[in-house]
A and B are shown apart, each in its own frame.
With several copies, the nearest count.
Chain A
Amino acid sequence: MDSPSMSAAIRALLRRDLLLAYRHRGEIANPLVFFMIVITMLPLGISPESAVLGSLAPGMIWVVALLATLLSLDSLFRSDFDDGSLEQILISPHPLYFIVLVKVFVHWLVTGLPLALLSPLLGVMLFLPEAGFTPLFLSLLMGTGVLSLIGAIGAALTVALRKGGLLLSLIIMPLYVPVLIFGASVVRSAIEGFPIAGELAVLGALLAVSIVLAPMAAAGALRISVNG
C-alpha cells in the first residue's frame, strides 16, 4: 500500500482549520475586539491626555497584543483534544512537527496578522507619533509570529488540563519577555529617531529560532499530554 502523501495531509488539515476558523468567524474578531476594548479602557483608567498616552503607546500596544494572543492560545489544541481529533492526528503517520506548524500558522493568520493590520488604527487612538507606525506594524507582524509559536508549547503542555487558561499564561509569559522588550523598543527607537534595523533583525532571529524549535517542543508536549 502506498503510504499516504504528507503534503495532501497537510493541505487537508490546513483546509479544515481554515474552514473551522471561518465557521467561527465571530470569534476571530474577538482578539481584535479585546485589543480595542483594552485600549479604550486605558485612557479611562489612567489619563486621557495625549502626551501621556503617546509616550505609553508603544509599550501599551505591545502588552495588549501579547495578552490578546495569550487569550486565544488556549483553544489552539483544546477543541481537537476534547473531540478526539488530536488522538487521530497523533496516530497519523505524518510528522507532528509539520502538523503543529500548520496549526500555529492558522492561529497566527487569524490573530497575529489582524492585530498587526489593525495597529495603525490603535496608534491613532493612542496618539502614537507618526514615525512609529511602520515600525509598530513590522514589529507586530514578526513578533506575533513568535508569540504564537512559543505559545503553542504552553498550549500543548496544558491541553489535557481543564481550566488551562491561566496556567498557560503563567508558563508562557516569562518566555514572552524578550519579544516584548524588542517589540516595544523597535517602536520607541523609531520615534526617537534611532535606526531600528538591528532590533528588527533580532526579532527576525527570534522568529527563525522559534520556527525551528517551538513546534518540536510542542509536538513532544502533545504526545505527553495525550499519553497521560
Chain B
Amino acid sequence: MAWQWFYRLGSPRWFYEKTNRWIPWLATVTALLLITGAVWALGFAPADAKQGNSYRIIYIHVPASFLALAGYYVMAIAGAIGLIWKMKLADMVMKSAAPIGAALTFMALVTGAVWGKPTWGAWWVWDARITSMLVLFFLYLGVIALQGAYQHQATADKASAILALVGTVNIPIIYKSVDWWYTLHQPATLKLTSASSIHPSMLYPLLLMIVGFYCFYALALMFYTRAEIVQRERRTAWVNELVGAAK
C-alpha cells in the first residue's frame, strides 16, 4: 500500500491528468515570479558602482547557471529510476530533461559571454567555472545525441541513462580538476567575484529570479514530458480519446 503512490507515479496517464490540473497554477506562479523579478531587477535595483547597468544580466545568467547544473542531476536521477525500477515515466522525464538542461546551459554560456564583453573586454576566457560549464554543455549534448542515435526508444532510454549516470560520477571529478587546473595556471587577472558580496537590494530580485527559474524549469519539464507521453502512448485508448476529444 505504501508503494501505491510510487506505482501511480509510474503511470504516464496519471501524470498527464494530474499535471493538467497543476499546470495553470504553476504557470501563474512562474509568471508572477519572473515578471516581478524582472521588473524589480531592471527597473528598481540600483546600478552597480563599477559595472553600471551591464551587471543586470546576472538576473538571467546566475539562475540559468544554477539550473544548468541542477538539471543534470534531475536527468541522471530520472535515468537511474528508469534503469532500476523500469519506470516508463522516468525515462520520459530523463529524455525531456536533456534538451531543457542543454538550453539552460547554453543560455548561461551566452549570457556569460555577453556580460564578459563589457566586463573583461573579451567574449570568452578560459576561467575554471566557464570551462566546466562548457564541459557540462558537452555532456548534455552527448546524452541528446545518444537519444537521437538509437531508433528503438527503449534502448535509447537505457543507453542515455547509463551515460547520464556515468556523467554524474564524473561531474565532481571534472569540476575539481578544472578548478585545480585553473589555479595552477593562475591567470589572476580575471575572476568571477563571489555572489555573497552582493548588496541586498540587488540580491532580493536575484532570489526571486532564481525561484522563478526553478518554477519555469519544472513547467518546461512538464510540458516536454507531456508531449513525450502523447507521442509514445499514441496508440493507447486514453490518448486516442484525448485526441478525439480535442478534435
- The answer on a CB contact under 8 Å between B146 and A171 is yes
CB distance from B246 to the nearest CB of A (A): 30
Which B-chain residue is minimally distant from A185 (CB atoms)? B184
Q: Is the interface of B mostly helix, strand, loop or mixed?
A: helix
Total A-B pairs, Cβ < 8 A? 116
Which residues of chain B from 51 to 102 have any CB-CB distance to chain A below 8 Å in the complex?
none
Given A29-B145, A127-B122, A157-B159, CB of A175 within 8 Å of CB of B167? yes
Which A-chain residue is minimally distant from B162 (CB atoms)? A221
A225 proximal to B (CB < 8 A): yes
- Stretch in A4-12, A41-49, A92-100 with 4+ CB within 8 Å of B: A41-49
A158 proximal to B (CB < 8 A): yes
- The answer on a CB contact under 8 Å between A50 and B142 is no
Residue interface bits B179-198, CB-to-A below 8 A is 1, else 0: 01110110100000000000
Contacts of B239 in A (CB 8 A): none
- The answer on a CB contact under 8 Å between B187 and A40 is no
B139 proximal to A (CB < 8 A): yes
Q: Which of A27, A127, A224 has the most CB of B within 10 A?
A: A224
Given A43-B131, A48-B182, CB of A157 within 8 Å of CB of B155? no
B46 proximal to A (CB < 8 A): no
B13 proximal to A (CB < 8 A): no
B169 proximal to A (CB < 8 A): yes
- The answer on a CB contact under 8 Å between A157 and B167 is no
A125 proximal to B (CB < 8 A): yes
- The answer on a CB contact under 8 Å between B125 and A50 is yes
Please name 26 pairs of A and B residues whose Cβ atoms are closer than 8 Å in the assembled complex, sorted by A.
A25-B148, A26-B145, A26-B148, A27-B145, A27-B149, A33-B138, A40-B131, A40-B138, A44-B131, A48-B125, A50-B122, A124-B123, A124-B124, A125-B124, A127-B124, A157-B163, A160-B155, A170-B138, A174-B136, A178-B177, A181-B178, A185-B181, A217-B165, A225-B155, A228-B155, A228-B159
Given contacts A164-B149, A224-B159, 18 further A-B contacts (CB under 8 A): A26-B148, A40-B138, A124-B123, A153-B163, A153-B166, A167-B146, A170-B138, A170-B141, A171-B142, A171-B145, A175-B166, A177-B178, A178-B173, A181-B178, A181-B180, A220-B162, A221-B159, A228-B155
